Amino acid sequence: MSILIKNGRIITAADDYIADIFIEGEKIKMIGSTLDVKADKIIDAKNKLVMPGGIDPHVHLDMPFMGTFSSDNYETGTRAALFGGTTMVIDFILQTQGKSLYSALNEWKGRSDGNAVGDYSFHMAVTDFNENTKEEIKDMIEKEGITSFKTFMAYKGALMIDDRQMVGLMNEVKTRGGMVTVHATNGDMIDFLVNKHKAEGKLSPLYHYISQPEITEAEATGRFADMAYYTGCPAYVVHMTCEGALNHIRAVEKRNQKVYVETCIQYLVLDASLYDKGFESAKWVMSPPLREKKDQATLWAGINQGTVQIVATDHCPFMWKQKLMGENDFSKIPNGHPAIENRMELLFSEGVNKGKITLNKFVEVTSANPAKIFGMYPEKGCIAVGSDADIIIIDPNENHTISAKTHHMNVDYSAYEGWELKGKIKTVILRGTVAVDNNELKIAKGYGKFIKRKKSVGII
Ligand code: DUC
Ligand code: ZN
Ligand code: ZN
């Protein structure tokens, strides 16, 4: 199968030019100003933008969590991602405390194998670091292509590890050439505040937000950066939300340390005023919670200053009846919100079309940087001869409205219901095959491939 994309405006993290792209099999074979070559399919991309497929490095599909499972599985989640221009996701395996990393890997393979529509990979969340876990790190990196290890400084009693385990893990991961990533919030402080509010009978979703003040994230981010500095381990903070946390990262740059930072689309475009809606606010109960306008301004600035490298989603959807598990107690509301399908178009509309970021920056934070930081570049994250033909074609001027009635995620509400966006994903190509065209799916479950990742080269 071959495809010729003609007359498109090609945007990568570094380039912006009009040219044709010839795809053969799964790869980009030629790029030229006017390619005179026969192809099985010709796509006219005149007046459209042609970009590398989005990579969302933070999603939770079919994940056992807070007594239930996230409602998108590998089929529905990766399919919705494709409709929104994301051709690859990185999901999280959660080690069960007391069990091995391999038993968790096998459990996650059982749910994902043969079920994905789009490409995917895994981070390994280490929730119990001990002598046995330590032995498995090398094989995860070298045999399984899982080169990043997630840690939780919160979710006390379930996923949280202490600083002793963190330092031990960092030492081992550094030695083996991997990276440690973190959910950086102070689990003990949050536990104290949750219990205090419950004891006072303050049980509405608002108290989820009040139980996780900015300082809980800022403190843990600084502590994590210090442990990474001490051990010399490559480090990455997931879903950063606030000024206090980013200021810690800005500060450690002065001692020549690099800590990578991811934020998520919701922290850029939504704010904590949504916690004022009674139980409806459960739609936005996620951890960390939404913050203030001043935090949004800091995150947009961080993107343009290069201290925030990635915009992900932390996609972790739950049906409304699952959210109702916490109707009388905010601490029982499953944490998470749906965004896997909305990330690219929201960032394009709110970021590029409103003049907050450039087109090149858009590609950098949605595709090129995830590929570089997580060991997939230049196979993914760019448009170049020899790269995987993961390509999206965007009409930058088409208007559309987000709604749960039309989205493809397996969740019965939208966190962005009624939002009017400018800029629409028209065609999505995944490894040389048209996956979505004009809102129609062209591939099926099983097309999505597990991508073994290399060691990170970082951003150079
Ligand atoms: N935060 C969420 O909101 N959901 C899943 C896990 C997390 O850290
Ligand atoms: Zn998290
Ligand atoms: Zn997460």
Q: Are strands 391-401 and 420-430 parallel, antiparallel or unpaired?
A: antiparallel
Residue 388 has phi, psi (to 5 degrees) of -55, 140
Q: What residues have CB less than 8 Å from 313, skipping those under 6 apart? A: 56, 58, 59, 264, 265, 266, 339, 340, 342, 343
What 3-state class would DSSP assign to 282? Answer: helix
* Ligand 1, atom nearest to 60 Cα: 5
How many angstroms is it from 440 CA to the middle of ligand 3?
Answer: 29
Rounded to an integer, what distance in angstroms lies between the CA atom of residue 26 and that of residue 402? 32
Identity of residue 294: K
Pocket of ligand 1 (CB under 6 A): 60, 183, 286-287, 314, 316, 335-336
> Which residue has its alpha carbon closest to ligand 1 atom 5?
336
> Which residue has its alpha carbon closest to ligand 1 atom 1?
287
- In this structure, are residues 151 and 182 in contact, taking their beta carbons and an 8 Å threshold? yes
Cα torsion 400, 311, 335, 190 to 10°: value is: -140
What is the pLDDT, as a whole number, of residue 22? Answer: 98
How many angstroms is it from 377 CA to the middle of ligand 1?
Answer: 27
Q: What residues have CB less than 8 Å from 61, skipping those under 6 apart? A: 70, 72, 73, 74, 77, 78, 89, 91, 111, 112, 315
Cα torsion 104, 109, 111, 115 to 10°: value is: 160
Here the tokens at position 79 are: 């399919």
Here the tokens at position 212 are: 């996780």
Report which DSSP code applies to 274: G
**Closest to 297 in 3D by CA, of 287, 309, 305:** 305
* Ligand 1, atom nearest to 238 Cα: 8
How many angstroms is it from 289 CA to the middle of ligand 1?
Answer: 9
* Ligand 1, atom nearest to 183 Cα: 8
Identity of residue 138: K
- Across 260-293, b (16+ Cβ under 10 Å) vs e yields bbbbbbbbbbbbbebbeeebebbbbbbbbbbbee
- In this structure, are residues 188 and 263 in contact, taking their beta carbons and an 8 Å threshold? no
Out of 60, 72, 315, mutate this one to test ligand 1's pocket (max ligand atoms within 8 Å of CB): namely 60
> Which residue has its alpha carbon closest to ligand 1 atom 4?
336
How many angstroms is it from 196 CA to the middle of ligand 2?
Answer: 22
Helices then strands, counting H and E runs in the chain, come out as 14, 19
Out of 59, 159, 239, mutate this one to test ligand 1's pocket (max ligand atoms within 8 Å of CB): namely 239
What is the pLDDT, as a whole number, of residue 460? Answer: 60
Q: What residues have CB less than 8 Å from 185, skipping those under 6 apart? A: 153, 154, 212, 216, 217, 220, 287, 288
How many angstroms is it from 336 CA to the middle of ligand 1?
Answer: 5
Q: Roughly what angle, to the nearest 10 degrees, separates helices 214-231 and 187-199? A: 160
Here the tokens at position 316 are: 């972790």
* Ligand 1, atom nearest to 336 Cα: 3
What is the pLDDT, as a whole number, of residue 392? Answer: 99
Here the tokens at position 391 are: 């390509």
How many angstroms is it from 338 CA to the middle of ligand 1?
Answer: 11
* Token pair 């600035």 in the structure block, residue: 301
> Which residue has its alpha carbon closest to ligand 1 atom 7?
287
**Closest to 376 in 3D by CA, of 385, 365, 388:** 388
Ligand with an atom nearest the CA of residue 316? 1
What is the pLDDT, as a whole number, of residue 457? Answer: 75
- Which residues hold their Cβ within 5 A of ligand 3, which is an ion? 314
Low-confidence ranges of the chain (pLDDT < 70): 460
